[in-house]
Amino acid sequence: MFRVRVTKIESIRDLDGNLGKRIELIEEREIPRLSAIRAPTEEAQVVQDVLQALQQQMPIFPQRGQIALPKIILFLTEQEYESLGINFDVNQVYEVNLENQTVAFRKIA
């Protein structure tokens, strides 16, 4: 079981020209903060300080203890999307359970 966040929903056409949706989901994981881990050597402490400075200056580095990794991209026709029975919303978090050859999504409130 893992958690994903919807990052993008786009309208697409499949190979037959049918309208559909492209839904991009990223995995969210907690990672330890650098400040919580004490560097064992002076060199490691310098590297840790540089990384902390980069995190403050550059928004591409995660700052809140989370990292986003691409996980699932769904390409669904309108009929498939409706049959799935889930209304995906951007930034909504879902719990994904993979079991017995099925994929189940559960919306996290």
pLDDT tens-digit profile of 16-49?
Answer: 899 999 999 999 876 555 555 666 888 888 887 8
pLDDT band at 94 (very low <50, low <70, confident <90, very high): very high
E strands, the chain, where? 2-13, 19-30, 66-77, 93-99, 102-107
Of 65, 79, 76, which Cα lies nearest the Cα of 22? Answer: 76
Question: What values do phi and psi take at 60, rounded to 5?
Answer: -75, -15
Asked if the model's pLDDT at residue 66 lies above 70, the reply is: no
Residue with tokens 């700052």: 63
Pairing of strands 19-30, 102-107: unpaired
Q: Which residue has the higher pLDDT, 59 or 1?
A: 1
Q: Long-range contacts of range 95-102, CB-CB < 8 Å, 24 or more positions apart?
A: 95/1, 95/2, 95/3, 96/1, 96/2, 96/3, 96/4, 96/25, 96/71, 96/72, 97/1, 98/1
CATH of 2-34+65-107, one of 3.30.200, 3.30.1370, 2.40.50, 1.20.1740: 2.40.50
Domain ranges of the chain: 2-34+65-107
68 or 53, higher pLDDT: 53
Q: What is the pLDDT of residue 47?
A: 83
Whether the pLDDT of residue 50 is over 90: the answer is no
User: Quick one: which H or E segment has residue 51?
Assistant: helix 42-57
Question: Residue range 69-85: average pLDDT?
Answer: 91
- 43: nearest Cα among 31, 55, 54, 51: 51
pLDDT confidence of residue 36: 57
What pLDDT score does 15 carry? 87
